[in-house]
Amino acid sequence: MVADRALFIGRFQPFHYGHLHALKWIVEREKEVVVAVGSAQFSHSYRNPFTAGERIEMIAAALKEEGLWDRVVVASVPDTDGKHSLWVQLVVSLCPRFKRVYTNEPLTRLLFEEAGFEVLAIPFFKREVFEGTKIRALMAEGGDWRSFVPSAVANVIDDIRGAERVSYLFQLEEKSKIIQ
């Protein structure tokens, strides 16, 4: 019998209050949740500045702070370089068993539905406010990014000098645009 567990997948670049709200909502409905850190092979780019390990640290710190750590299993999943038909099998092979998938991402929904999984939408929590691209932009500009992430996540980002990394990576990206 498949475990009574659900999957919540994202890049979590970084893990922010929108992710935390979604995860709390899922935990209210499920016995256990597999949080899959997607695009695990990418790091040190402006779009994906943090390593999979750093993102797992962020998630663990936030969930321990919230008292949810005992209801969650974290796994990391790489992309399949556009080979979408293979991706669901990769997720399944790298994660503990799960019955349902929670996502709002259209391609993820389609792929898991085609593979026979029940896929459920998650209510957005202030999507216009809690969005990774905006948070990374605040980091790059030296803005107040801390108010958009749990304090435990901010501590992890501070420990790894993550805001400085994001700022540096943004500068590199801007320079490469000028050169092209």
Helix (H, G, I), strand (E, B) or coil at 122: coil
Integer Cα distance of 132 and 141 in angstroms: 14
What is the predicted pLDDT for the residue at 34?
Answer: 98
Report the number of distinct structural domains present in the chain.
Answer: 1
Q: At what angle do helices 151-159 and 52-66 cross, to 10 degrees?
A: 150
Rg, the chain, Cα only: 16
DSSP conformation class of 29: T
State the Cα torsion 61-62-64-69 to the nearest 10°. Answer: -110
How crowded is residue 93: how many other Cβ atoms within 10 Å of its Cβ? 8
- The domain spanning residue 39 has which CATH number? 3.40.50.620
Structural domain that includes position 175: 5-179
DSSP conformation class of 179: H
What is the predicted pLDDT for the residue at 179?
Answer: 64
Residue type, 139: M
Integer Cα distance of 11 and 46 in angstroms: 13
- In angstroms, the Cα distances linking 149 to 21, 70, 71 are 11, 21, 20
What would the two tokens of residue 116 be? 């026979």
Would you list the DSSP string of 130-166? Answer: S-HHHHHHHHHHT---GGGS-HHHHHHHHHTTHHHHH
Which residues of the chain have a pLDDT value below 70? 1-3, 127-129, 176, 179-180
Residue type, 114: E
